[in-house]
Amino acid sequence: MISRRALVAGGAAALAGALPLSRTTRAAEKSFLPQGLPEGVYDTATLEALPGKKPLIKLTYRPPNYETPLDHFTSEFTPNESFFVRYHLAGIPEQIDAAQWKLKVTGDGIGKPLQLSLSELRSDFEAVEIAAVCQCSGNRRGFSQPHVAGVQWGLGAVGNARWKGVRLKHILERANLRAETVEIVANGADGPVLDGTPDFIKSIPADKALDDNTLIAYEMNGAPLPHFNGFPIRLVVPGWTATYWMKHLDAIEASTKPFGGFWIKSAYRIPTGKFPIVQHFQSQVAAANEPITEMVVNSMITAPAEGHTMRAAATAEIRGLAWDGGYGIRRVEISVDGGGTWREAELGNDLGRFAFRAFRLPFTPPQAGKYQVMARASNAVGQTQADKLIFNPAGYHNNVIRPLTVNVL
């Protein structure tokens, strides 16, 4: 026979089990997620592996949006199998025959339309390799306060790779690009699955397309592009956010007037004049807003991990990565007292102005307690990470200095 006390105790236990776990508890259970994301992310995000990938943080499946866990950032270059995946539309080719692939170059700004195969891109043009950070415009959107709509990215919608391909300007020159061209419009093989959904098509200014650093890439870190990172070719626009890095590129159009598609006229826009941006997309700037362009200066601490425990007087190394829109990282400062004081970290090798720059600083806590560790990057044009969120409705350009706690016994 069950006593009343046991019944009450059992009911209380059942009730406790039915109550939702706190955000802190769920974050601890899913240690691959950073703290501070919306509560629903801890309920739904999982570690899953796409074909050709290691387990990444799945935020959405259709379309696939997977971010790189923080512990995969162990060097300046992000391995292909760990590189984040970002799509807007679910109509993604399951298989692509590279031998049959064609890049079409057309438009009223072209004097000689072209159709190029992958083998022709490799054989007929000078090969160029550049180290560059690819970062989703909405990286860290999940930390926005107040909350904003969109994929709730944490820290890992970013990566650095060596991209090999051909200069876009050489292709445009062969196609007899006309001087009156205003924008270059890019389209890829992925598309919408529902009628009425706008295809993901982007444009870039003609001068950006003619920049020596803008590539059509067919290799990533010495290997063919992974399927979910744009195989067989993708646009690479170093310094600018990944919205312009068109995957599965199959069509380029040179236009003598500004492009009017949804993904440039309505989406991926920021309030005009709100961010310290040097390069603007002038043909698309409006009084209220303008297209997002270059990345803002940013950094992340990759070690120690949040909640790391160590002994007083022992030494740990604070390590991390910094990047910006291509002006070059010049300084990274570290604070271990929540921003009260700062020390300059040692910078790693300069792999190019568009690449991750590693940093490190030894940390020997003198006594027990909780230490709030922070990193603050600055670049060559005087831009420094923000200590307060510059809020915008889409959650773009989140480069707020992020603290983590180290427990010292």
Dump pLDDT digits (tens) for 274-329.
999 999 999 999 999 999 999 999 999 999 999 999 999 999 999 999 999 999 99
Q: Is the pLDDT of residue 12 over 90?
A: no
Domain 298-408 is found in CATH 3.40.50.720: no
* Structural domain boundaries in the chain: 98-133+158-291, 298-408
**Which CATH number fits the domain 98-133+158-291, given the four candidates 3.40.50.740, 3.30.1360.120, 3.90.420.10, 3.40.1280.10?**
3.90.420.10
Mean pLDDT of all residues belonging to the chain: 93
Task: Yes or no: say if 358 and 349 are a contact pair by the CB < 8 Å rule.
Answer: yes
Mark out the alpha helices in 19-155 (DSSP H runs): 23-29, 39-44, 118-124
Task: Yes or no: say if 144 and 395 are a contact pair by the CB < 8 Å rule.
Answer: yes
Q: Is the pLDDT of residue 25 over 90?
A: no
Q: What local confidence, expressed as pLDDT, does residue 51 receive?
A: 96
Residue with tokens 């992310």: 41
Q: Is the pLDDT of residue 200 over 60?
A: yes
Sheet holding 369-379, edge to edge: 308-310, 404-408, 369-379, 329-335, 343-344
Q: What local confidence, expressed as pLDDT, does residue 115 receive?
A: 98
pLDDT confidence tier of residue 19, bands split at 50, 70 and 90? very low
Q: Can you tell me the mean pLDDT for 248-260?
A: 98
For residue 182, the one-letter residue type is: V
Residue with tokens 């890049």: 103
Q: Which two tokens stand for residue 127?
A: 């090969």
Tell me the helices (H) and strands (E) count for the chain, helix number first: 7, 25
pLDDT confidence tier of residue 28, bands split at 50, 70 and 90? low
pLDDT confidence tier of residue 386, bands split at 50, 70 and 90? very high
